[in-house]
Amino acid sequence: MSNKIIGGLYRQTMDKRKDAVKSFSGMSDEEIEAIYSMTSLSRDLADRMIENVIGAIQVPVGVATNFVINGEEKLIPMAIEEPSVVAAASNAARMARPHGGFHAQATRPIMIGQVQVVGVQDPYAAAQRVLSESQKILEICNSTNPTLVKVGGGAIDLDTRVIETIRGKMVLVELEVDCRDAMGANTVNTMAETIAPLIESLTGGRVRLRIITNLAVKRLARSWAIFDREMLGGEDVVEGILDAYAFAEADPYRCTTHNKGIMNGITAVALATGNDTRAIEAGAHSYAARDGRYRSLTKYSKDSNGNLVGSIELPIAAGILGGATSTHPAAKAAIRLLQVKTAQELAGIMASVGLAQNLAALRALAAEGINKGHMKLHARNLAMLAGATPDILDEVLKRLGSEHRVTYDKVAEIVKEIKSIRNS
Ligand code: MEV
Delineate the domains of the chain, giving CATH numbers in brackets: 9-104+221-367 (3.90.770.10), 110-213 (3.30.70.420), 372-423 (1.10.8)
Give the span between the Cα atoms of 140 and 175, in whole angstroms. 12
Per-position b or e across 161-189, b if 16+ CB within 10 A of its CB: eeeeeeeebbbbbebbbbbbbbbbbebbe
pLDDT at 180: 98
| Pair 114, 213: CB distance under 8 Å | yes
Amino acid (one-letter) located at 315: P
- Cα 124 to ligand 1 centre (Å): 46
Any alpha helices (H) in 221-303, and if so which ranges?
229-232, 235-250, 252-272, 277-288
Q: Is 30 a catalytic residue?
A: no
Amino acid (one-letter) located at 328: H
Binding-site residues, ligand 1, Cβ < 6 A? 82, 257-258, 260-261, 264, 361, 365, 370
pLDDT at 3: 44
185-194 and 134-143 helices cross at what angle (nearest 10)?
130
- The residue to mutate among 82, 254, 264, having the most atoms of ligand 1 within 8 angstroms of its beta carbon, is 264
- Overall size of the chain counted in residues: 424
Cα distances from 410 to residues 345, 386, 402, in angstroms, run: 47, 10, 13
Amino acid (one-letter) located at 265: G
Catalytic residue among 260, 299, 378, 410: 260
| pLDDT averaged per 10 residues in sequence order, the chain, 424 residues | 65 93 95 96 96 97 98 98 96 98 98 98 98 98 98 98 98 98 97 98 98 98 98 97 98 98 98 98 98 98 98 98 95 97 98 98 91 74 85 87 79 91 85
pLDDT at 5: 64
First and final C-alpha spacing in the chain: 51
pLDDT at 4: 58
Apex CA 284: angle with CA 279 and CA 287, to 5°? 120
For the entire predicted model, the pTM comes to 0.91
Give the span between the Cα atoms of 189 and 367, in whole angstroms. 47
